[in-house]
Structure 1
């Protein structure tokens, strides 16, 4: 805040932020709404101007909206994407002033004290804002006043600029809801005849405090400037990158590794301060001829241990063409994940760390996505009892929770010639004549009706573990509803 300078605050309200964000990429002519499931019904979350002209409003049932407007077009809302878009707008708004904060889920607040003259005055600055938002396809309402509360009220109830000085003159004709009151308090004040801010400001304060508490008069005083209200700007997310400019060019692998070690120590210090770990690292090496070489390292687990990461970098750095020498090194963690501090125990298990490092080394050659593991799935159907996931993006499971053993090798069912509900004494499988020595079962498995699996359309299956005299231990099943025998697996 500048000494002796009147504070000035701008409030930006985007009443159609969600629909404007979608319509920026999707051309729609006519009424358009975004829907979201609320209270067990699909309701309008946001709508464009054409939909509002048809009498539709936020919170309206989508079925009722289609009845009013048969030509209505819709799309599913994404509140998280809307919030990310608002954060982008917040960062863009720092071109007007450094102090930019969030105002709910659809607004921004800017402390433009001392910065309006850089754009030719307040009116010129607001005109520049409106022009840029209009070209971006965003509908915005702007309010400017001495306080955050006054700017908020003007943006939402009477778009305009309040002259510096007495805020009561600019706000007295606005409804009491413009003081950022909850609906219950606003309705109660209207029933008492206090519908305007000017009327509320002239009313005795003691009875209002006894009935509504101190919050009502605090909002009034904040809007009029009698009580201060801070604007807290959001800080930009941490940038995990370090750089080193060398006085003399280098080209030996040992020198590059030494520089990488120093950069990793600085980067891991930043990561540790934020309790984050790197999942993807990019080393950029600038040569003296201004050409750049890059080495990317993708880790199987988030790490911030400089020594472990350094050894994983060695293979990629060894393939760099240093040319006439390298004079600058830049290391950036382009992908990070949370890595909270953990309690250190006297019993340490290094096997998991060694496995993660092995996956990382193999991933640099074949790709992390191509190193996969089997994980148990919640299904008693043999074909559905496991899933295949990338080892770098999943954790190993303790094992399958099953009552009966399962074969080590599982393959599509192969029919054999046999009849009757009990395992055959002799049968041929894969051109081999086999004799049943011992059979255990049956284990009856019913199909899952919620899965449309063609291979299980035959109905129930009775599984048997059959040990043959030739040494084969097979998994056979019989289908009672469509009599037949099949081999589906083999035990080790």
Structure 2
């Protein structure tokens, strides 16, 4: 049997982590909730106490919530930022003990065995946790027990000093289906479940139920695994004699860049931003920030990009320490090595964008990217060229809007003289006469009713691909509500 009674496990549960992360910067006294889309509906994701007091609950549809509480203030949920915020809280919790791990998406677990006496005992440690969480504006519920499962149960379900056996069976971290089935059998408390014969339970519910029970009672180990800190890619060199010439600084930078790139290559990572700090003998530091257009780990490509800023740096009476850090890194898959060691076309483009960006700023170099919209005017967006391709855009060619279905050139609608619902056999456009040889369509496109500011209020459009005898392939549309024909694009 596993003896876990000598262990002291603390479970920290932040039931309103998402909303309190947002309200820390923009507090409000009224009902507030964050929403997250599930399927085709927006649902409440996390609520503040005022919203819960008026009867709103998690997973309620936003339409029902607004009908029930017209004064409800909402905002979009950002689970990725919540995870980052929880990681910050994990680092803060390491002041109490070194063994801190995540407990779901809104909790932490601490193995405080042997550390409680440093805070004056268990009660003093818990009081300090509550006080600091209250100062930070966070709702915190705590559970302290000899096992991780019992600590979780006390934090989520205990009201006061209830023993573990008096808590509901849902406190064993069971799924909803198992919880309901146990209650139908009359096993509503952990004590009732522990007093029941194990063999029938195992046959009906499988081994997971008994494993959760044994973990809570200390009959099965459940360790607290601390999260490893992310690797830091930084090197420095302290020089025996100050230097000031550009070639000397470039030489030291090259010596730092080689092992740094070797570390990145070992972890299949590439640097997106490098910071070169030049410390002078008067202790003044001159940082040089190099933002790259794409993830790189090739010293031969990165080193020349530092030269312009190093030449402009003021060395003063000399530089005695140089530090190089990859401040922002991204995954970079390994390339197959061979005879041809020349940079690829994308790599040469990244080098060119980086060189231009060091002069005018990388954010000023922009390009068009596909957007998730069937509206022609909104099917693209202008973004910095250094941004990674979003997942929605990477699947663009697999969706119904394949590149061949849209013209290569798109311009504002230009009216032409034509009538009727069928494409005109002859028409004039831009002072040129055209004769239609083949017409493909129609493709009806309607405004996005769910987008209040879609910028398109002209109603339905019926689009046609027209091949003309003059060799031009045009994209025309007809508006049924206000009869008229327009040219909006041209195919290659």
Q: Per the shorter chain, which TM-score range? A: 0.7 to 0.9
- What does residue 79 of structure 2 align with? 79
Cα contact 2:5–2:218 (8 A) shared by 1: no
Mapped pair 1:367 → 2:361: yes
Alignment of 1:212-291 (within 5 A): 212-291=205-284
Measured against aligned partners, the alpha-carbon deviations of 1:103-130 in whole angstroms (never above 9, x if no partner) come to 1111110011111111111111100110
1:348/1:380 CA distance change after superposition, 3 Å: farther
Measured against aligned partners, the alpha-carbon deviations of 1:177-231 in whole angstroms (never above 9, x if no partner) come to 2111222222222222222222222222222222222222221221111111111
**TM-score of the superposed pair, with normalisation by structure 2:** 0.78
For 1:414 and 1:70, the matched residues in 2 are separated by 44
Unaligned runs of 5+ in 2: 395-401, 417-423, 448-453
For 2:39 and 2:415, the matched residues in 1 are separated by 52
In the TM superposition, residue 151 of structure 1 has moved relative to its aligned partner by 0.6
For 1:197 and 1:83, the matched residues in 2 are separated by 31
Measured on the aligned residues, the alpha-carbon RMSD in Å equals: 4.3
Single out whichever of 105-114 and 350-359 deviates more from structure 2. 350-359
1:137/1:388 CA distance change after superposition, 3 Å: closer
- What does residue 109 of structure 1 align with? 109
For 1:147 and 1:261, the matched residues in 2 are separated by 52
Measured against aligned partners, the alpha-carbon deviations of 1:302-352 in whole angstroms (never above 9, x if no partner) come to 110112211221222111111101011111112211101133355565352
Mapped pair 1:342 → 2:335: yes
Give the aligned length. Answer: 460
Measured against aligned partners, the alpha-carbon deviations of 1:142-185 in whole angstroms (never above 9, x if no partner) come to 010111011111111115679xxxxxxx3121122211122222
- What does residue 195 of structure 1 align with? 188
- What does residue 135 of structure 2 align with? 135
- What does residue 450 of structure 2 align with? none
For 2:95 and 2:289, the matched residues in 1 are separated by 33
Single out whichever of 39-48 and 320-329 deviates more from structure 2. 39-48
1:128/1:394 CA distance change after superposition, 3 Å: closer
Alignment of 1:48-67 (within 5 A): 48-67=48-67
For 2:270 and 2:462, the matched residues in 1 are separated by 50
In the TM superposition, residue 61 of structure 1 has moved relative to its aligned partner by 3.3
Measured against aligned partners, the alpha-carbon deviations of 1:403-458 in whole angstroms (never above 9, x if no partner) come to 99989xx9989999xxx98689xx998xxxxxx9x978678798965485799999
Mapped pair 1:300 → 2:293: yes
For 2:63 and 2:484, the matched residues in 1 are separated by 50
Three-state SS of the structure 2 residue aligned to 1:172 is helix
Unaligned runs of 5+ in 1: 163-169, 430-435, 468-473
Measured against aligned partners, the alpha-carbon deviations of 1:452-474 in whole angstroms (never above 9, x if no partner) come to 5799999989797979xxxxxx9
- What does residue 317 of structure 2 align with? 324
**TM-score of the superposed pair, with normalisation by structure 1:** 0.78
Measured against aligned partners, the alpha-carbon deviations of 1:35-83 in whole angstroms (never above 9, x if no partner) come to 3333543332222222223233222333433444343333332222222
Max radius of gyration: which structure?
Answer: 1
Equivalent in 176, 186, 204 of residue 197 of structure 2? 204
For 1:379 and 1:219, the matched residues in 2 are separated by 47
1:404/1:118 CA distance change after superposition, 3 Å: closer
In the TM superposition, residue 388 of structure 1 has moved relative to its aligned partner by 5.7
Cα contact 1:279–1:298 (8 A) shared by 2: yes
